């Protein structure tokens, strides 16, 4: 693991790191904020999954999470959203697929199956690396994310409910199997058999019997992707059927940007910290 940069912030350390990832077959970069409380021993870990077109840098530069993370004593880990680099298959000009759009799944279709294995990377390889190199209490993990990353956070929490003690999302893609900007990507990554898509759709996972104690979701009412891409009411409907507690905050006038995310970042970190204690 190579240290790309380190900086002191709110008494903790904001670092950026790089390593050769076996799961994606290419170098991967990720960000980690370690709060000052880690000087006294391992602290809880909160995973942040970014949305379409993003890298680790978007939330690191614009998410405004460090003050709250330092106050509550949690590590924040921000992975990249997809494999990148020369030789990685991509669709130039298509921001909804390929580089920056890994959808936190393991592709099964050529030529993407070799590198687009973000599910294995985020749920297996990177956690092992974090556990080895940082003062992380891996018995206390939470996960949250934005948009495509909110989709990933929900599906990972529903798949590993014993691993995660909290899950929240900013403007998640609630039902990617039918959303205009995610359905084409699922078909290219996973093939035309839609039954294979269900493991990567929060509403389908809940309908199929997967459970998580509770979710927090914030959604802006002025989000231009609300009607076609996000549709949180579909998640709300499935949670009601399954008896899953969902706090859905419709934030009047907020859009899909990091102005929205940073406005409610403290709430999400406090939500996670209360459950990670």
SS3 of 103-135:
CCCECCCCCCCCCCEHHHHHHHHHHHHHHHHCC
Active site residue 256: yes
Q: How far apart are CA 81 and CA 195, in angstroms?
A: 24
Q: CA dist 181 to 52, 103, 225, Å?
A: 10, 11, 9
96 in Cβ contact with 69 (< 8 Å): no
Q: Which residue has the tokens 């924040």?
A: 76
The string over 21-33, giving b where at least 16 C-beta atoms fall within 10 Å of a residue's C-beta and e elsewhere, is: bebbbbebbbbbb
Active-site pick, 80, 106, 218, 223: 223
Active-site pick, 72, 151, 200, 256: 256
Active site residue 147: yes
Q: Which residue has the tokens 């059927």?
A: 241
Sign of the CA dihedral with 132 first, then 137, 138, and 144 last? negative
Active site residue 257: no
Active-site pick, 82, 99, 147, 166: 147
Catalytic residue numbers? Answer: 147, 223, 256
């Amino acid at each position: 693991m190579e240290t790309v940069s380190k900086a002191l912030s709110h008494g903790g350390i904001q670092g950026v790191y790089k390593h050769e990832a076996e799961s994606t077959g290419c170098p991967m970069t990720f960000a980690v904020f370690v709060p000052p409380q880690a000087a006294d021993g391992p602290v809880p870990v909160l995973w942040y999954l970014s949305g379409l077109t993003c890298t680790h840098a978007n939330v690191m530069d614009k998410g405004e999470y460090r003050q709250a993370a330092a106050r509550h004593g949690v590590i924040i880990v921000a992975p990249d959203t997809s494999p990148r680099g020369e030789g990685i298959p991509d669709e130039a000009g298509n921001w909804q697929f390929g580089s920056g759009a890994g959808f936190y799944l393991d592709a099964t279709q050529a030529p993407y199956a070799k590198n687009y294995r973000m599910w294995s990377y985020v749920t297996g390889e990177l956690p092992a690396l974090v556990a080895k190199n940082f003062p992380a209490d891996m018995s206390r993990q939470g996960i949250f994310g934005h948009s495509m990353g909110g989709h990933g956070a929900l599906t990972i929490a529903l798949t590993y409910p014993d691993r995660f003690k909290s899950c929240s999302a900013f403007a998640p893609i609630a039902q990617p199997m039918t959303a205009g900007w995610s359905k084409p990507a699922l078909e290219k990554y996973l093939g035309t058999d839609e039954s294979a898509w269900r493991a990567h759709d929060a509403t389908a996972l809940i309908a199929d019997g997967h459970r998580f104690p509770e979710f927090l979701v914030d959604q802006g009412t002025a989000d231009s992707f609300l009607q076609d891409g996000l549709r949180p009411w579909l998640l709300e409907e499935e949670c009601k059927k399954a008896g899953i507690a969902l706090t859905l905050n419709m934030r009047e006038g907020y859009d899909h940007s990091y102005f929205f995310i940073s406005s409610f970042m403290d709430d999400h970190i406090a939500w996670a910290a209360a459950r990670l204690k």
